[in-house]
Amino acid sequence: MPALAREIRKLDGLMRAGQWLQARNMVRQLIRRHPDRYDLINAHGGILMGLNQPDAAKVQFETALKAAPDYIPALDNLGNLHHKLGDSEAAVETYRRVLRLAPQNHDTYRKLALSKRFRSEDDPDLAALLAGLANLTRPAQQRSLLFALGKAFDDLGQPARAFGYLDRANAIARTMNGYDVRRDVELMSNLANWFAGGWTARNLGAAPCPEGPVFVTGMPRSGTTLVEELLHRRFGLVPKGELPCLGRVFDGFRRANPMRVHAGGLADLTSGMRAGLGREYLRCAGVEGSRPTPVIDKTPFNFRLIGFARAIFSSAKIIVCRRHAGAVAFSNYARDFTGGLLWSYDLRDLARYYAAFEALVGFWSAQRGCDFHVVDYETLVVETDAPLGALARDLDLAESGDAGARPGKDRLVATASAMQVREQVDAGGRDHWRAYEAFLSPFFKALEKARKSPFDTG
């Protein structure tokens, strides 16, 4: 393999791992040596998006497109940038341009549908989706268009037709992933075992742990992005998005200390170990060595490691977002989370995962030292000021902004809620899922059964 190809492969690995600072240094060196490589310029833009520098990223994408106007990866990245900035019109137009050049890019249809609201069955984009689906025979190709059509007919207020497309899309996704929900249920059961016996209370201590972040956790699609945005607007906290850091630090600790984690429990940490693990997290988050305004880590799956977070950051502030189970089920089933959330493609798997989530959060709640604040989504969107006031009192936060303000166009929101969070807080959609309640009956039946024995892996 030529040297440049090896370096590009290494760069791609850094980007996939979210090691943005290392990737930025590497791509800059490569561009200095190969200034005409528009693929490297495009990669630079993607790295700058990862570093939440949208203006600089846009310059890179546009530079790449100036050199190669039909370079689809740069066009796709530019559309993604517009979407994450909440610029629906620009995102849609860019995705349309991609599809004119490469109509076989099936996932672009899904992204286009997520970037707009369909208001009429005469919408040309809807016609393009239907025509595209009719021309495809391979299920793997149909998947993205089926999810897109589910979104379109949901917008049009046709739940039966929308759910029909979503059912077909999820059925295809299930056949492609070979997922077994018992693995995730077993993991959550093991976590409860590892942290049992008062571990968190014993390991809090008065160690010189670094100042911790605010962890916003919960099931995906339970309001974590909204809570992050409100904390940013009202209290001036710095949003860092979904960080892999807490899980990465815990996994590293497990690998380095194989005898400390076992079925019988997690061995105690020394104060030096706790402080070191805290600094490792801050390095991963890109805030080590500074004492900035507290940052927000809104990785939903951090609910699995609440006790560990409390141990390495004795000052950590933890929020668990809660939303009606039916709303969580529909919101996850209606989205194609490519690369993850494999339990979301089957309503029965979704029920078992949700029951295990409830049980693990209940376990943390019963552990002395694992204090956290629960935010109810349905209450938050109706009575925004009261829940935020409770958060301020519980977490000792000082107001510094306006919770009614919209997020700025200079901030990337890299989640499925990128468009919704740009709007004013609105209770209008909180019961949207009820139009699908009858279609969700397999979920509710499975949830009733799973709640009786949430960690059962049989």
pLDDT the model gives residue 102: 93
* Higher pLDDT pick, 404 / 167: 167
pLDDT the model gives residue 422: 46
pLDDT the model gives residue 267: 75
Q: Is the pLDDT of residue 277 over 50?
A: yes
pLDDT digits (tens, 9 = 90+) for 24-44: 999 999 999 999 999 999 999
- Give the span between the Cα atoms of 344 and 168, in whole angstroms: 14
Q: Please name the residues in contact with 149: beta carbons below 8 A apart, sequence gap of 6 or more.
A: 113, 126, 129, 130, 133, 162, 165
DSSP string covering 251-289: HHHHHH-TTTEETTEEPPPPHHHHHHHHHHHHHHHT-TT
Token duo for residue 225 = 């992005």
The answer to whether 333 touches 219, Cβ cutoff 8 Å, is: no
Band of the pLDDT at 288, cuts 50, 70, 90?
low
Q: Is the pLDDT of residue 61 over 60?
A: yes
The residue type found at 121 is E
- Give the span between the Cα atoms of 9 and 239, in whole angstroms: 30
pLDDT the model gives residue 421: 46
Query: Span 222-251, mean pLDDT?
Result: 91
Query: Span 242-246, mean pLDDT?
Result: 91
User: Domains in the chain, ordered, with CATH?
Assistant: 1-80+87-97 (1.25.40.10), 103-177 (no CATH), 181-450 (3.40.50.300)
Rounded to the nearest 10 degrees, the angle between the axes of helix 441-450 and helix 325-333 is 120
Among residues 360, 357, 438, which one has the least CA distance to residue 163?
Answer: 438
pTM for the whole structure:
0.88
Query: By percentage, how much of the chain surpasses pLDDT 70?
Result: 89
- Give the span between the Cα atoms of 138 and 193, in whole angstroms: 44
pLDDT digits (tens, 9 = 90+) for 195-204: 887 787 787 7
pLDDT digits (tens, 9 = 90+) for 109-129: 999 999 999 999 999 999 999
DSSP string covering 400-449: -S-TTSPPPTTS---STTTTGGGSPP-GGGTTGGGGGTTTTHHHHHHHHH
Q: Pick the range with the lowest mean pLDDT from 41-55, 148-162, 255-269.
A: 255-269
Q: Is the pLDDT of residue 409 over 60?
A: no
Query: Span 20-24, mean pLDDT?
Result: 92
